[in-house]
Amino acid sequence: MYLEMLKRKKKGRFAFEEFMTDEAKELFKVVEAKKKKEVS
Amino acid sequence: MSLNYMIPASKFKRYLPKDYVELVDYGPFGKKYSEVGVKNMGTYKELVEEHPMCSGCWMSYYIKIIFASLPNPEDTVTIGTAGCGRLAISQAAVPFIYGNYGDQNAMASGITRAFRLRFPDRQKDVITIAGDGGMMDIGFSMTMHAWFRREKFTTIMLDNEVYGNTGGQESGMSVEGAVLKMSPKGKNFGKMPAMQLAITAGCVYVVKMSPTNINKASKAIRRAIFAARNLGPTFIHVYTSCNIEYSIPTPDVFRDAKEKEKRSFCI
Amino acid sequence: MSLNKTLVDMDYLLNEAPREKHFITGAQAMAEAVKRASVDMAIAYPITPQSEVMHLVGDIYAQGHIKEYYRAEEELGTMSAIAGAARGGVRMFTATSGPGLLRGLEAIVSWPGHRIPCVLGVLTRVVNAPLSIQPDNIEMAYLMHSGVVMLHAENQQDTFDYTLAAFAITEKVDVYIPVSVSTEGFFVTHAKGYVDMMDEKYAFTEVDPYHAPVPAMDNEVPPARIQRDAPVQKSNFMSYLIHSVWQQEIWDCNSRAMKYVYQYLGGPIEVINPDADVFIVASGCAAAQSREANRYAEEEGLSVGLVKVKCIRPWPRKEINDALKNAKTVIVPEHNIIGWLSKEIKASIPNGGIVVEGPRVYGGMTLPVELIMEEIYIALGMDSEKLQA
């Protein structure tokens, strides 16, 4: 199953429902930016 | 202290169980997410390995994803209730509180506030992980009120659409028409709208998913934890089938999850 | 908010700190004790009108004596949150009453096994139908089998002292189970009495969550709990063993609380006129009425003894046996229909037949001293008609 999930990840097709408040959206932007900075 | 408290004195180390020492040496404690996390599962000592869940259990997979996604496992406490989930959650190398029936979100309210009092400058993550029965039936009031009170912790509902651990009874999250124990003529109402309830009750981040994509599943968990630290309650409603009670052959478990993704667990 | 408190140990607080007389209600007395107990967090749910303790504790929070306080959704939520917060290593208080206690009982009976140190105020109230808001301590019978340490206060002064002592007892390493302080709703909670209190600048030393038989679950103190969980939830001999030794330990903890009952309350019972043949044994508000009966009897030249039971759990079996060893009759007045105290006494002494099961009042009735006197006259072979005269 794990391998199958990895395969699926490659295909990149998925669907889910996500809700976030504006505040959360801002927060995630900061988190993503920080992560990119760490990687580079 | 949180990271140091689990590291044994070097001379004492050889007397400790191998499992413990491996967790300290090769586990995810104190490591960057990029070094461990879901992408690297299988290459480090994971927080949950052996567990007593049924063969082909989709829930146990998701529980492994939860623990592989924790941003700060050495400073995390999980809380659960009766149900299949806690059989695997209690095997994780993270403090787990198993309280009374459906009380996980009330208990989390208390411990989150206690942590914030005692460690105002530190982050300690509290996550409640319980089934659909524990969250939406018996623990409904405590789940909802914790959200209304804007308690800052993450709630994860492992929805297998049935009381799996007690032998397959109808739950509020079972689908309409499902013939289960205690609904011998089929359930006569649909799934409770957990996601809408969470949004209405004030959760700042809510996800409803069938976790067929491991990275997306992990990202949602991490986002829920980050948002709970700073903003307010967060909720993940996740489909984790019960292949026993719904008679899903093990090889078809993933197919079933994909089907759910297309139907009741997507937009 | 810093209130500049002088932190002292419980011995000093109870016995040495200078006190002043105040005229306050039982509810105020309990809240005043909480004010001096360095409580970190209190969780409230209304059970008005039985008790306004948690309103008053809310005021104390607003004044800065308590760090955190909230109104929970209902009692099961309250008691569960207490269990969570106590595991987080903070000092906890809540109070409830009758139906609220029973609603929270599922969580409360699990507290001792979870090693939750906290103090629970129980301001007694009818629990059975027809539902009533009146005082009746039948709910204490349910608490007696929970493992919780139980103190029963007679009046406003007791309520103050016992509540303070409870905070010290519950956190003792060899106890570390919850302590409840009961007193009768309305009769004590809403009535004023004289209470000698120390200045509010004095407060009990703050909690040390690491001075505990089980560490707080805060990921701070070794041993780290990163080993796999014991399979208590399985059906095998290991699980039976784990559960049984654990529960034996809980009841041993309960017994070990007795030495602290001696230390802080001067013992689990109070005996007046120990050489009498006829004894009244009572706890809580019934002890106050029994004290009156004892005084009446003395005025009438009758020799009647009184045993006030301060501590219901641990049950002072030895002390009661010693006090009643020469008794011919034991009268047990109670504020409930089932007579839990008389049953305990009957089961504790070798000659249980000497126990008169009553008088009992319930559903909110007061306990007239005359009812107790009548039993005394009967016990002494006197004409009980004297009562009507």
Q: Give the pLDDT score at C386.
A: 57
Six-digit token string for C29: 């007395």
The residue of chain C nearest to residue B103, with distances taken between CA atoms, is C80
**Residue A2, in any domain of the structure:** no
Whether B212 sits inside 8 A of A24 (CB atoms) is no
**Residue B25, in any domain of the structure:** no
**Is residue C305 within 8 Å of C271, Cβ to Cβ?**
yes
Q: Which of B67, B65, B42 has the alpha carbon at shortest distance from B212?
A: B65
Whether B113 sits inside 8 A of C85 (CB atoms) is yes
pLDDT in tens, chain B (267 residues): 678 888 888 898 889 888 888 988 999 999 999 999 999 999 999 999 888 899 999 999 999 999 999 999 999 999 999 999 988 998 888 989 988 999 999 999 999 999 999 999 999 999 999 999 999 999 999 999 999 999 999 999 999 999 999 999 999 999 999 999 999 999 999 999 999 999 999 999 999 999 999 999 999 999 999 999 999 999 999 999 999 999 999 999 999 999 998 877 765
> Domain of A21?
13-40
Whether B109 sits inside 8 A of C88 (CB atoms) is no
**Residue A1, in any domain of the structure:** no
Chain C interface test: which of B117, B140, B144 (most C C-beta within 10 Å): B117
pLDDT digits (tens, 9 = 90+) for C54-64: 999 999 999 99
Q: Which of B153, B156, B144, B157 has the alpha carbon at shortest distance from B198?
A: B144
Whether A14 sits inside 8 A of B230 (CB atoms) is no
pLDDT digits (tens, 9 = 90+) for C4-20: 899 999 999 999 999 99
The residue of chain C nearest to residue B106, with distances taken between CA atoms, is C81
* C366/C78 Cα distance (integer angstroms): 31
- Residue A7 pLDDT greater than 50, yes or no: no
Report residue A37's pLDDT band, with 50, 70 and 90 as the boundaries.
confident
Chain A interface test: which of B72, B210, B216 (most A C-beta within 10 Å): B216
Q: Is B9 on the interface with C (CB under 8 A)?
A: no
Contacts of C40 in chain B (CB under 8 A): 114, 117
Q: Give the pLDDT score at B9.
A: 86
Torsion region of A29: left, alpha or beta (phi above 0 gives left; psi -120 to 50 gives alpha): alpha
Which of B91, B95, B100 is opposite residue C217, by nearest beta carbon? B95
Whether C110 sits inside 8 A of B91 (CB atoms) is no
**Secondary structure, 3-state, C243-296:** HHHHHHHHHHHHHHCHHHHHHHHCCCEEEECCCCCEEEEEECHHHHHHHHHHHH
Instruction: Return the biggest CA–CA distance within chain B.
Output: 64
Residue C70 CA: distances (Å) to CA of B46, B77, B95, C43, C74: 38, 22, 26, 5, 12
pLDDT digits (tens, 9 = 90+) for C133-186: 889 999 999 999 999 999 999 999 999 999 999 999 999 999 999 999 999 999
* B80/B133 Cα distance (integer angstroms): 12
Q: Which of A31-35, B181-185, B248-252, C92-96 has the lowest mean pLDDT?
A: A31-35
Whether A38 sits inside 8 A of B227 (CB atoms) is no
CB < 8 Å from C in window 126-145 of B: 141-142, 144-145
* C149/C310 Cα distance (integer angstroms): 11
Q: Give the pLDDT score at C224.
A: 62
Six-digit token string for B124: 């300690």
* Alpha helices (runs of H) in C12-63, residue ranges in sequence order: 26-35, 53-62
Q: Give the pLDDT score at C389.
A: 46
pLDDT digits (tens, 9 = 90+) for C263-317: 999 999 999 999 999 999 999 999 999 999 999 999 999 999 999 999 999 999 9
**Is residue B242 within 8 Å of B55, Cβ to Cβ?**
no
Q: Which of B82, B86, B246, B221 has the alpha carbon at shortest distance from B155?
A: B221
The residue of chain B nearest to residue C209, with distances taken between CA atoms, is B118
Distance from CA of A32 to the nearest CA of B (A): 10
Whether A21 sits inside 8 A of B32 (CB atoms) is no
> CB count, 10 Å around CB of B199?
18
Please count the structural domains in chain A: 1
Q: Give the pLDDT score at C50.
A: 75
Q: Give the pLDDT score at B254.
A: 93
Amino acid at C140: M
Amino acid at B161: E
**Residue B135, in any domain of the structure:** yes
Q: Give the pLDDT score at C271.
A: 98
HSE (CB half, 13 Å, CA atoms) of C104? Answer: 32
Q: Is B224 on the interface with C (CB under 8 A)?
A: no
Which of C72, C74, C226 is opposite residue B93, by nearest beta carbon? C226
The residue of chain B nearest to residue A10, with distances taken between CA atoms, is B213
**Secondary structure, 3-state, chain B:** CCCHHHCCCHHHHCCCCHHHHHHHHHCCCCCCCCCCCHHHCCCCCCCCCCCCCCCCCHHHHHHHHHHHHCCCHHHEEEEECCCCHHHHHCCCCCCEEECCCCCHHHHHHHHHHHHHHHCCCCCCEEEEEEEHHHHHHCCHHHHHHHHHCCCCCEEEEEECCCECCCCCECCCCCCCCCCEECECCCCCCCCCCHHHHHHHHCCCEEEEECCCCHHHHHHHHHHHHHHHHHCCCEEEEEECCCCCCCCCCHHHHHHHHHHHHHCCCCC
Query: DSSP label at C386?
Result: G
* C302/C295 Cα distance (integer angstroms): 10
Whether B118 sits inside 8 A of C90 (CB atoms) is yes
**Residue B1, in any domain of the structure:** no
Q: Which residue has the higher pLDDT, C215 or C354?
A: C354
pLDDT digits (tens, 9 = 90+) for C123-134: 999 998 898 888
**What's the CATH number where B104 sits?**
3.40.50.970
- Sequence-separated (6 or more) residues with CB below 8 Å from residue C377: C383, C384, C386, C387
* DSSP strand pairing (C19-25 vs C192-198): antiparallel
Return the ∠ at Cα C226 (arms to C229 and C88), rounded to 5°.
Answer: 90
Domains of chain C are 6-204 (3.40.50.970), 269-387 (3.40.50.920)
Return the ∠ at Cα B83 (arms to B220 and C176), rounded to 5°.
Answer: 100
Please count the structural domains in chain B: 1
Is C353 exposed, middle or buried, given 0-12, 13-18 or 19+ CB atoms closer than 10 A? Answer: exposed
Whether B267 sits inside 8 A of A1 (CB atoms) is no
**Residue A30, in any domain of the structure:** yes
- Sequence-separated (6 or more) residues with CB below 8 Å from residue C325: none
Q: Give the pLDDT score at C227.
A: 44
Q: Is B34 on the interface with A (CB under 8 A)?
A: yes
User: What would the DSSP string read from start to end of C334-385?
Assistant: BSSSS-HHHHHHHHHSTTGGGEE---B--TT----HHHHHHHHHHHTT--GG
Q: Which residue has the higher pLDDT, C201 or C229?
A: C201
Contacts of A5 in chain B (CB under 8 A): 212-214, 254
Is B257 exposed, middle or buried, given 0-12, 13-18 or 19+ CB atoms closer than 10 A? Answer: buried
Compute the mean pLDDT over every residue in chain C, rounded to the nearest whole number: 93
CB < 8 Å from B in window 33-92 of C: 40-41, 43, 67-68, 70, 72-74, 76-78, 80-90
pLDDT digits (tens, 9 = 90+) for C178-209: 999 999 999 999 999 999 999 999 999 999 99
Distance from CA of A16 to the nearest CA of B (A): 5
Query: What are A's interface residues with B at a Cβ cutoff of 8 A?
Result: 1-2, 4-6, 8-9, 14-21, 23-24, 27-28, 31, 38-39
Whether B117 sits inside 8 A of C86 (CB atoms) is no
Residue C167 CA: distances (Å) to CA of B14, B120, C151, C152: 41, 25, 12, 15
Q: How far is CA C215 from the centre of its chain?
A: 26
Q: Give the pLDDT score at B266.
A: 66
Chains B and C touch (3+ CB pairs under 8 A): yes
pLDDT digits (tens, 9 = 90+) for B188-232: 999 999 999 999 999 999 999 999 999 999 999 999 999 999 999
* C355/B139 Cα distance (integer angstroms): 46
Return the ∠ at Cα B173 (arms to B170 and B177), rounded to 5°.
Answer: 60
Which of A17, A23, A39 is opposite residue B195, by nearest beta carbon? A17
Contacts of B65 in chain A (CB under 8 A): none
> Domain of B44?
36-262
**Residue A7, in any domain of the structure:** no
Whether A19 sits inside 8 A of B205 (CB atoms) is yes
Average pLDDT over residues C46-51: 82
**Residue B14, in any domain of the structure:** no
Contacts of C89 in chain B (CB under 8 A): 114, 118
Contacts of B226 in chain A (CB under 8 A): 27-28, 31
Whether A2 sits inside 8 A of B266 (CB atoms) is no
Q: Give the pLDDT score at B70.
A: 96
Q: Give the pLDDT score at B51.
A: 87
Q: Enumerate neighbours of C (3 or more CB pairs within 8 A).
A: B
Average pLDDT over residues C219-239: 66
Phi, psi of B88 (to 5 degrees): -85, -40
Which of B204, B212, B267 is opposite residue A20, by nearest beta carbon? B204
- Reduced to 3 states (helix: H, G, I; strand: E, B; else coil), residue C62 is helix
Distance from CA of B103 to the nearest CA of C (A): 6
**Residue B60, in any domain of the structure:** yes
Whether C87 sits inside 8 A of B111 (CB atoms) is yes
Six-digit token string for C34: 């909480």
**Is residue B84 within 8 Å of B66, Cβ to Cβ?**
no
Chains A and B touch (3+ CB pairs under 8 A): yes
Report residue A9's pLDDT band, with 50, 70 and 90 as the boundaries.
very low
Which of C68, C217, C219 is opposite residue B5, by nearest beta carbon? C219
* B45/B34 Cα distance (integer angstroms): 15
